[in-house]
Structure 1
Amino acid sequence: MREADRKVTAYHEVGHALAAQLLPHANRVAKLTVVPRGRAAGFMMPDADDRLHVTRPALEDMIAVALAGRAAEEVVYGEVTTGAQNDFQQATGLARRMVTEWGMSGRIGKVALATDEGNFLGGGPQALPMSEATAFAVDEEVSALMDRAYARVLALLGEHLGRVHEIVEVLMRRETLSGDEFSTLLAGGTLDGPPGAAGPAPAPLPV
């Protein structure tokens, strides 16, 4: 992987990790790495989630964590990449289920607009028949959930941008950080040397 791509990946994964660590209902960081695995250039692994019932605030934080990698790219580079494809699929799926399955939309109401019943081919919940107006309202509610989550992580990253730069420099050197190591760096601590400066602004995104 080109060094410029590694650095974009590092900012992307640190963005996920920052949101996971600071949003009140998110699962904390277990590991993050810029070592490629399969088609992934890097990844942030959250702690295992053993909750049986998931609240609306927890779901909103999950969506925000999923979007935080793309938000980090935008904040740092003023541009975005194609690296957030799976993140957007995950976040959109959660938002749509909140609206169509779990009755978590004040506008749509406490109704089921999707079902798993009879879905013998798999592929997740299937939409039930609905009017064009209802389908439009569902799309608007999903977009609103996504937009609110994205605004939250943009603000969070802007507030902690200096620390993000520092953690990225450490991650680039070490390639992998445990959850405890990330927590130490986020709190302003060091691992095995003096604190790293934020350093110069990153180079433009690779083309």
Structure 2
Amino acid sequence: MVREADRKVTAYHEVGHALAAQLLPHANRVAKLTVVPRGRAAGFMMPDADDRLHVTRPALEDMIAVALAGRAAEEVVYGEITTGAQNDFQQATNIARRMVTEWGMSDRIGKVALASDQGSYLGGGPQMQPMSEATAQEVDEEVLALIDAAYGRVLSLIREHLNGVHEIVRVLLRRETLSGEEFSTLLAGGQLEEVPAVSLGKVPLPGLT
């Protein structure tokens, strides 16, 4: 059984992802939000299917921001962070690094490919081309800059909508799962039909009385 403290952290984490997905202009909107464990995940936010053939730099920057928004929500609400964002950081870092090394989206390094799929062992992903130590440092610095900028955006977003985040978490803990439409209704300040609380009961939330 999931500890109630962990369930609350998961709720804030997933609502953070959902808030960014719903409000950032180039992100995929929310399809589903749940705190029901599945596999190793304590909960998840499912975005709408993405059928774009070409992804722009602003869309990639919003993908990074959405990936980091769960961690940002934990920091804003609890003033500390947990280990639950490991996969989120891997996803965000992978996107940022590919922007810099594969897709020519680096302002500092230029429109060059520093990684290639050609000759990769057993399809093990893009392989970095030989580069100088100075270039490698520039890659690392630009990846960090992309991630820091995205994290700053979602921190501001969550602080701006913190009262709404608390209310959505309250409802999510009671219902356990929200559809994209239900999430949109709550984010806009609307109400959902009351349902019986889950067996764990009503939980006091940070910042609420």
Look up the SS of the partner of 2:88 in the other structure.
helix
1:23-64 Cα deviation digits (max 9, x unpaired): 000000000100000000000000000000000000000000
Q: Work out whether 1:119 is the aligned partner of 2:124.
A: no
Look up the SS of the partner of 2:166 in the other structure.
helix
Q: Could you say if the C-alpha distance between residues 4 and 185 of structure 1 is closer, same or farther in structure 2, counting changes exceeding 3 Å?
A: same
Whether the aligned pair in 1 keeps the contact of 2:73 and 2:155 (CA below 8 Å) is yes
Aligned length: 199
Q: Which residue of 1 aligns with 2:147?
A: 146
Question: What amino acid maps onto 1:158 in structure 2?
Answer: R
Whether the aligned pair in 2 keeps the contact of 1:77 and 1:202 (CA below 8 Å) is no
Q: Work out whether 1:62 is the aligned partner of 2:67.
A: no
Q: Which residue of 1 aligns with 2:183?
A: 182
Superposed, which structure 2 residues align to 1:98-117 within 5 Å?
98-117=99-118
1:68-126 Cα deviation digits (max 9, x unpaired): 00000000000000000000000000000000001101101000000111114233211
Q: Work out whether 1:201 is the aligned partner of 2:206.
A: yes
C-alpha deviation, 1:193, in angstroms: 3.6
Q: Which residue of 1 aligns with 2:52?
A: 51
Unaligned runs of 5+ in 1: none
TM-score normalised by L of structure 1: 0.94
Percent identical among aligned pairs is 83
- Separation (CA, whole Å) in 1 of partners of 2:86 and 2:186: 28
- Separation (CA, whole Å) in 2 of partners of 1:191 and 1:59: 33
Question: What amino acid maps onto 1:201 in structure 2?
Answer: P
Look up the SS of the partner of 2:55 in the other structure.
coil
TM-score normalised by L of structure 2: 0.93
Q: Work out whether 1:31 is the aligned partner of 2:32.
A: yes
C-alpha deviation, 1:202, in angstroms: 6.2
Kindly report the root-mean-square deviation, in angstroms, between the aligned alpha carbons of the 2 structures.
1.4
- Separation (CA, whole Å) in 1 of partners of 2:207 and 2:159: 16
Look up the SS of the partner of 1:121 in the other structure.
helix
Q: Work out whether 1:132 is the aligned partner of 2:113.
A: no
Question: What amino acid maps onto 2:105 in structure 1?
Answer: M
Q: Work out whether 1:20 is the aligned partner of 2:21.
A: yes
Q: Work out whether 1:80 is the aligned partner of 2:85.
A: no
- Separation (CA, whole Å) in 1 of partners of 2:205 and 2:74: 16
Unaligned runs of 5+ in 2: 196-203
